[in-house]
A and B are shown apart, each in its own frame.
Chain A
C-alpha cells in the first residue's frame, strides 16, 4: 500500500474533506458521550436544540460565530502565505485592550459615529503591530514565528492582567480584575432587539467577502498566493517575498485585533481575562476546516460556534461535561488534517 499524488483535486473532494472530518469527530465523540452515561443521539439532539432551538439560542450562536469568523480569517490569510501565526489570541486581547481604553477615554471627546470606526481601527492596528515583530524577526533573522507568536500570547495575557488589575482597573468592579468599561454610546448597535447579537456579525461577513476578493482578484492576492506556494518561483518572478509577508502579517494581525475590539464594543463593554475562551486558537481550527478558504471560514466558524453553544445546553440537560465541545472541535481538526492528506493523495495497493 502506498500513497500517490492525485493529478487534480476535485471540488467534491474539497467539500467532502471537512464534512468527513466532522462526521468522524462526532462519531468518536459519541463514544465518549456514551461513556459519560448519556445517549449520543439525545446528546447531539440537545446540542442542535441548544444552538438553534429558539430565537435567543440562534442569536447566541451567531454572536459566538462573529469572533470565530475573524480569528478564522486571520489564521486562513496567514497560513495561505505559509506564515504560521499562532498568536491570534494575543492579537485579539491587545485589540480588545486598546478598544476598552479608547472607548472609555475618547468617547466624551469624539461623537459616537466617528468614535466607533476609530476604536475598531485602533484594535486592528494593535493586532497588526503585535504580529509585525515576529514577522520581522523571521524575515531578518530566520526566527521561527510559530514559537514567537505563541509565546507572545502569554506575554500579552500577562500584560492585560497587569493593566486590568492596575492602571485600567475599574474602580466600581468590587475588586474584580476587570477593565474600565467603554461609554455606552460607543457600543456597537444590535441587530436583533433583546438579544446580544450585534453588527459585529455583519462586519465579520464583509471582512470574509473582502478577503476573498483580495485573494482572488488583486495583484497582491496573486503575488501572495505564488509566494506562499513556491518561494523560489515567486522570487524568480520578481515578487518581493519580505514585503508580501509583511502585508499578509498586517492583514492577519488586524483581523485578530478586530475580533478583540468587536468583542469589547459589541458584547462585553470591558476586558476581563475570560473575554475570549480561546477564540484565537479556535480560529486555527476554523481556518483548517475551511481549507483556508475565506468564504468557507464563515461556515466552519458557525459549526464551531454551534458545538460550543450547543454543548452548554447539552451539559445542562444530560449532565455530560461541556468539555466535550473542546473534544469535538479538537478531533475534527485532527481528522481534517488526515482528510487533507487524502485530497492531495490517493491510496494505492
Chain B
C-alpha cells in the first residue's frame, strides 16, 4: 500500500429524521485499489457515497481526497479533486450524442465555440486506453444500458477522475456485461486509478474486489481482504445472522392455470411484448428472468389485468380472453404482487386495514350493501399482521410507515390469506433484505406445495434459479422457450438474458 490513501472518510455520521443512516463510518482507499462496499439495501452505502460526492452534507465527520480536505456539500469540489461517480440511475441526456453528453459542463459558458476535435481525441484516447468502446457520434437514447454505463464511466474519466465510485453498477447489466465491466475496472486500477463499487451481490464482490468493507445498519461491521474471506462469512456479516433461503422440493405439476399464446401488447404506441407464449401449471413456478426494462413491466400489467393483448389470446382456467380485469382476476383466486409496491401495491397515506381489503372490498366478508364492515376488516388485518409477521403494524397504522419488507409481507399476506390458485409475483423481493427475501421465498414455495401456479417475474438470477421449475428469459419484449430448472445454470441463462437462444440472436 502506498504511503497516503487517495481517499479517506473519517467518522462520518448522517441522520435522516429518526434514522441513523451512517453511524461513525471511517474508511480509506489506497491508490490502485478495487474496493467493494457491501451491504443490504438500507445499510447506508448510497448515503455514504453521496456524502463523499457532496450530494449530502454529513452531520459529523470529514472527507479527505489526496490528502486535502473536501468541503462538504459541493459536488464540483469533489469532481475537481478527481472523484467521479457513476450513479445507479444514469444522468445522461438521451437526445444528445455521446460526445455532447461527455463534454457538457466541462467548458466555460463564455467560450463561443466548443473545441470538438480536441474533445473527440481525448475521448478516443480514453476509450482505447481502458477498452471502453463507444461511438462518439451515437445518440445516447439509442444505446443499450451497458453502453450508457460506459458513457457514464468515460464521462468521469474525461473529467480526469482518479477515483471512480460506482453505485450498484451491475443492477442493470446481464451477467456477461457485468463480467466485462469488472474486467475494465480491473484494468483501470492497474493504471493507477482507484475504484469503489457498491453492491449487495456476494458473487461479484468475491470475484472482482480486492478488499471489501461491509456495512450494516449504517455501521462498518467488518473490513476484509477478499482473499481471506468467503461467501458464507460475507453473507453472515452483511445480514447479521445466519440466513438460509428455503430450498425447492421436487413435485409434479398439475393442470394449466394461466397461459398466453402469441400475445402482443402495445402500450403508448410501442410494442412492448412481441408474440409471447407461456403456460403456468398448478403446483409449478415458472420463472421469467431478464434484465430490467425488457418488457417485464408490460408482462406484469398484462397478467395483473391492467393491459390488454392487441393480438393473441390469454387463457385463465381454460377460458380464453384478450384482457383480464383486476376484479375478475381477484374473484377467480389470483394473487397479484405488483412490481412497485409503493406506487401500485398500496396507498401509503391510507391505514393498513384499508390497504389490506381494498382489492376485495366488494366481497361480502368486508362489505354489504355498499357499507364497509370496519370491524371485520380490522379483524382480518389483525390476523394478517400476526400470520405474516408484519412488524411495527396495527390495523390503523399508516401504511407509509412500514419498511419495504413489511409492506411486501402485507401485500403478500392479503393475497395469500385467501388461498389463491394463481400467483403473479413481479419482482417480489426487489429491495428487500436477506431475512425478508427468505420469508417471501418460503411463502411462495409453500403456496406451490399446496397447488398454486406461480408466475415469477424477476431480475435476480439466483432467485429464479432457486425457485423456478421452469425458466423463460425475456429480452426486448420477447420470451424464450422454457427450459427446465435442471438444465439451467447461470451461464446458459445468462446467454438467454442477452437474447441468445435457440441458436438465434433475438436482438
Contact = CB atoms under 8 A, between A and B. Distances in A.
Are A and B genuine complex partners?
yes
B358 A222 contact: yes
Interface string B316-339: 000000000111001000001010
A230 B16 CA distance: 25
B42 interface: no
A347 interface: no
A235 B345 CA distance: 10
Nearest to B341: A233
Given A4-B17, A222-B358, A226-B358, A235 B347 contact: no
A251 to B, nearest CB: 14
Interface in B327-383: 327, 330, 336, 338, 343-350, 354, 358-359, 361-362, 367, 370-372, 374
B371 A217 contact: yes
A222 B343 contact: no
B457 to A, nearest CB: 15
Interface residues of A, number: 22
A219 interface: yes
Contacts of A219: 361-362, 367, 370-372
Contacts of B401: 7-8
Contact of B327 (A4, A229, A238): A238
B398 A226 contact: no
B343 A232 contact: yes
Contacts of A174: none
Contacts of A235: 306, 326
Interface in A1-42: 4, 7-8
A8 B304 CA distance: 32
Nearest to A9: B398
**Of residues A217, A219, A226, A237, which shows the largest number of chain B Cβ atoms within 10 Å of its Cβ?**
A237
Given A4-B16, A218-B371, A233 B346 contact: yes
B305 interface: yes
A236 B336 contact: yes
A235 B100 CA distance: 41
A7 B17 contact: yes
B344 A222 contact: no
A220 interface: yes
Q: Is the interface of A mostly helix, strand, loop or mixed?
A: helix
Interface residues on B, range: 20 to 34
A104 interface: no
B389 to A, nearest CB: 22
Contacts of B330: 238
Contacts of B326: 235-238
Interface in B1-30: 16-18
Nearest to A348: B17
Contacts of B374: 217
Interface string A202-236: 00000000000000011111110110011011111
Contacts of B18: 7
Contact of B354 (A218, A226, A232): A226
A219 B327 CA distance: 15
B371 A233 contact: no
A236 B345 contact: yes
B305 A218 contact: no
A1 to B, nearest CB: 12
A134 to B, nearest CB: 25
**Of residues A217, A226, A229, A238, which shows the largest number of chain B Cβ atoms within 10 Å of its Cβ?**
A238
A7 B336 CA distance: 28
Contacts of B306: 235-236
Nearest to A235: B306
Nearest to B400: A7
B144 to A, nearest CB: 28
A35 B179 CA distance: 75
B344 A233 contact: yes
Contacts of B350: 225-226, 229
B370 A229 contact: no
Given A8-B398, A8-B401, A236-B306, A222 B372 contact: yes
B361 A222 contact: yes
Contacts of A223: 358, 361
B307 to A, nearest CB: 11
A280 B359 CA distance: 36
Contacts of B338: 236
**Of residues A217, A229, A230, which shows the largest number of chain B Cβ atoms within 10 Å of its Cβ?**
A230
Nearest to A2: B57
Given A8-B401, A217-B372, A219-B372, A232 B362 contact: no
A218 B347 contact: no
Across the A-B interface, the 4 shortest Cβ-Cβ residue pairs: A238-B326, A237-B359, A238-B327, A230-B347
Interface of A: 4, 7-8, 217-223, 225-226, 229-230, 232-239
